[in-house]
Amino acid sequence: MVENIRVKVISYIEKGPRIIASAGKVSLSRRTIDPKRMDQNEIKRWIKELIKRGHGSPLEHSSYTFSIEGCSRVCSHQLVRHRLASYTQQSMRYSEGYLRAQALKVAEIIGKSCPKSPKEAGVKAYRCYSEVLRNSLDFLNSAQLLDTARIAYVIPDNIKFKDLTSYLKELLRATSLYYELLSRNVNKEDARYVIPQAVRTNLVVTMNARELLESFLPLRMCTRAQAEIRRVAWLIWVELMKIHPELFKWAGPRCVYLENKTRLEPCTLKEFIEGKCDFTIKRCPELVPREGIKECLRFATRTINKKDVIL
């Protein structure tokens, strides 16, 4: 149920791999380096050399900016723990668009007309949103509850269906209370305290290649990462593979990162997934023993749809 999350690269250094390769070459050569004279094979060779050596500083010369839409604030709080990055996030003090879309959809289902925007109707709009959400709790069936709740909130996959109905009602009830507070002229920055952390949000995130390859992707692509941010990480990797596969084919969960630091020749994520490369480490950093790592990695790939996977 975390599939309604969209990730897109909106800006990046186009010649990033070339810059990274030339920076890596600078550290080992006294000769003047001209990045323009490096052909594609030389670029790939030097990037592989950096992966083998664990030489991370050249990776910092390429950065990537992502638009992440529809993740929860639970997920965004995990994202910002990666401190070597820049973040801009949708403010719930100024925008409650996901919540309003939910209220308007509920109004449509139960046949109630509410103002499309509070800009003209003011507190009357908030009062209408609150009433339709509160009054709908006894009328919406399970499918309708799920469809409307997902507009504004991310629903964790591990909440079983027998518990799901009451959970979804609580989400709608929280939104109703939020709009009731706004109808009483409570400021948005105070009314938002009643909103669950599952509420959707949008972010713009910028990271350099080193943070992506050595920290964010290894930690968050892992099976042991929380499901939503794991999906975000895999979607980020899919986007990166579209633009710089020569660099990010080496990316992967912590098991892949650690394995490539110990073997004579690194392997790509595709080679590990397809079984063309075996794991030699005794266990991964998450304490999965060697014999279980391959299956654990396969499970992690199920985080995204097969059509999204670019290996």
pTM of this prediction?
0.93
- Per-residue pLDDT tens digits for 109-139: 999 999 998 888 889 999 999 999 999 998 9
Burial (0-12, 13-18, 19+ Cβ within 10 Å), 169: middle
Predicted pLDDT of residue 120: 82
In a domain, 187, yes or no: yes
In a domain, 1, yes or no: no
Predicted pLDDT of residue 163: 81
Q: How far is CA 177 from CA 35, 47, 103, 104, 198, in A?
A: 59, 54, 12, 15, 16
Query: Which stretch of 156-165, 170-179, 188-197, 224-233 has the lowest confidence by average pLDDT?
Result: 156-165
- Per-residue pLDDT tens digits for 27-70: 776 666 677 788 999 999 999 999 998 999 999 999 999 999 99
SS3 27: coil
CA distance 43 to 19: 9
Check whether 306 has a pLDDT greater than 90.
Answer: no
Computed over every residue of the chain, the mean pLDDT equals: 92
Predicted pLDDT of residue 1: 57
Same structural domain, 51 and 107: no
Q: What is the mean pLDDT of residues 99-110?
A: 96
Percentage of residues in the chain having pLDDT higher than 70: 95
Q: How far is CA 57 from CA 19, 27, 45, 67, 197, in A?
A: 12, 10, 17, 25, 36
N- to C-terminal Cα separation, the chain:
24
Paired sense of beta strands 6-12 and 63-72, if any = antiparallel
The last residue of a domain, from among 130, 161, 194? 194
**What DSSP character marks residue 199?**
B
In a domain, 67, yes or no: yes
SS3 88: strand
The last residue of a domain, from among 194, 220, 244? 194
Same structural domain, 153 and 172: yes
Q: What is the mean pLDDT of residues 207-215?
A: 97
Same structural domain, 106 and 67: no
> What total number of domains does the chain contain?
2
CATH number of the structural domain spanning residue 236 = 3.30.1360.170
**CB atoms inside a 10 Å sphere around CB 103:** 29
Which structural domain, as residue segments, surrounds residue 137?
97-194
Spell out the alpha helix ranges (H) of 158-264: 161-183, 188-191, 209-211, 217-220, 227-243, 245-248, 254-262
Same structural domain, 206 and 267: yes
Q: What is the mean pLDDT of residues 198-224?
A: 97
Predicted pLDDT of residue 122: 87
Q: What is the mean pLDDT of residues 157-174?
A: 89
In a domain, 26, yes or no: yes
In a domain, 54, yes or no: yes
Active site residue ranges: 220
Among 6, 14, 47, CA closest to 213: 47
Same structural domain, 208 and 178: no
**What DSSP character marks residue 263?**
S
pLDDT band at 197 (very low <50, low <70, confident <90, very high): very high
The last residue of a domain, from among 137, 159, 194? 194
Check whether 2 has a pLDDT greater than 90.
Answer: no
Same structural domain, 189 and 234: no
Predicted pLDDT of residue 27: 79
Check whether 277 has a pLDDT greater than 70.
Answer: yes
- Per-residue pLDDT tens digits for 234-255: 999 999 999 999 999 999 999 9
Among 211, 47, 184, 50, CA closest to 124: 184
Same structural domain, 55 and 106: no
Neighbouring C-alpha atoms within 13 Å toward the C-beta of 305: 8
In a domain, 159, yes or no: yes
Residue written as token pair 């999965």: 288
Q: What is the mean pLDDT of residues 82-95?
A: 92
In a domain, 217, yes or no: yes
